[in-house]
Every structure is written in C-alpha cells, then in structure tokens.
C-alpha cells in the first residue's frame, strides 16, 4: 500500500510491501525485511519501533561487527553518510 502525506498511527508498516512518503508516523511498528529497497522518505516518527528481519537483520549484524574493526569502521561510517568521503592517499 502507498501512504503519502498522512498521519499514520498505531499501524504495522511492512517496508517490503508499503511505500511511505512524507508521513507523520505515531506509535507504529515499522518492519524491514529483504524483498526490495524500501520506499521510505521525508517521514517523521514519534514513538515508533523499527524492526529488521531476514537479510536486513543479517546486514545490520554484519555492519555492527564491522564497526568494531578499526580498519573497517571508517568505511562503514562513510557508506552510511556519517563521515565525509575521502579519497585514499598513498604514502
């Protein structure tokens, strides 16, 4: 189902099937699995729970482990947009 510019309250939203754009989410359960890249943008949430399942959960677990490895930590943070992208330098 596609939700756009709405207030959604107390729903279970499955990002494998639902498209959510420009919505205000209140006390919702938002589930991300593995079927496709979610269509989820320009939303705000209040009191919502985000859940990851299937391959999305595996990806989160791998990223958490990578963050504990100093040589991979910056790479993960750059890919997530949390650090500016830097070109490698040769010494």
pTM above 0.85, yes or no: no
The predicted model gives 17-34 an average pLDDT of: 95
Compute the Cα dihedral for 86, 74, 16, 25 and give only its sign.
negative
Burial status of residue 32 (CB atoms within 10 A of its CB: 0-12, 13-18, 19 or more): buried
Percent of the chain clearing pLDDT 90 (strictly above): 65
| Distances from the Cα of 12 to the Cα of 38, 44, 85, angstroms | 15, 16, 36
Predicted confidence (pLDDT) per residue in 37-49, tens digit: 889 999 999 999 9
CA distance 77 to 66: 10
């Amino acid at each position: 189902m596609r939700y756009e510019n709405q207030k959604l309250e107390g729903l279970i939203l499955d990002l494998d099937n639902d498209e959510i754009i420009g919505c205000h989410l209140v006390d919702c359960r938002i589930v991300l699995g593995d079927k496709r890249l979610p269509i989820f943008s320009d939303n705000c949430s209040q009191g919502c729970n985000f859940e990851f399942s299937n391959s999305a959960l595996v990806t989160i677990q791998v990223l958490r482990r990578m963050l504990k490895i100093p040589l991979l930590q910056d790479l993960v943070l750059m890919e997530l947009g949390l650090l500016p992208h830097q070109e490698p330098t040769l010494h």
